[in-house]
Amino acid sequence: MSLRRILVISLGNPGEMRNTWHSAGHIVLEALQRTLGRDQPAFAAQRIGRASALASIGTRYSLLQSPAVMNVSGPWVARAYREHLTERGLAPAEVGVVLVHDDLEEELGVVKVRDWKRSHRGHNGIKSVNGALQADPAGKWARVSVGIGRPDARDKGAVSDFVLSKVPRNARNVLEGSGSQGLFDALAELETRWGGANSRL
């Protein structure tokens, strides 16, 4: 069964915490939509997974920003995935799922494709998704991490304060530039790997 659609979901935080390092996935996904051009609609609020979420649904890509607080994002991601299959009449084998999230272990703007089952390394958003969503073996699954660097101090409090601090303008430019290009390239790599290469990429 051939790949028909790519579902890309970014993790982050809502409201006042939206422009923080923990929401780097949202920042990069929004920039990706602009990179994809006219074929990918602008983000707009839609009712998805029993919540209002920002979404961009194109002919090939469905880009969704999780509206849930990072640490409890799993239940919403699971609902959104199941809803996506049901509403579009898709089998798991026809959908590639890509989870986009921040990564403290990589330098700012560095994007890496990760195996879905790779260790969450203490990332509570990934932990929540793993607990709520059982990856169907017939489907295609991957994570894409976006580097945000990390503070010199390694204690839990310092790391928490860092990921919830605001992203400076110059750093946001890096995420929107090299970060979105990295995600664009990662999606091309995944489509080729999954046997559904898109001629536009």
- CATH number assigned to the domain comprising residue 34: 3.40.50.1470
Asked if residue 201 belongs to a domain, the reply is no
Picking from 26-30, 36-40, 154-158, 181-185, which range would have the lowest pLDDT averaged per residue? 154-158
Residue from 22, 26, 84, 101 carrying the catalytic annotation = 22
State yes or no: is 22 an active-site residue.
yes
Location of structure tokens 């390092």:
21
Q: Which of the residue ranges 15-29, 169-183, 184-198 would you say has the lowest mean pLDDT?
A: 184-198
pLDDT band at 197 (very low <50, low <70, confident <90, very high): very low
Bridge partners (DSSP) listed for residue 112: 145
Residue 198 in domain: no
pLDDT tops 80 at residue 77 = yes
In a domain, 199, yes or no: no
User: Considering the domain boundaries, does residue 77 fall inside one?
Assistant: yes
Compute the average pLDDT of residues 41-62.
97
Q: Tell me, yes or no, whether 67 lies in a domain.
A: yes
Residue 138 resides in a domain: yes
What's the rounded Cα separation, in Å, for the pair 176 and 144?
A: 15
Three-class SS state of 79: helix
% of the chain surpassing 70 pLDDT: 97
Enclosing domain of residue 138: 5-192
Total domains in the chain come to: 1
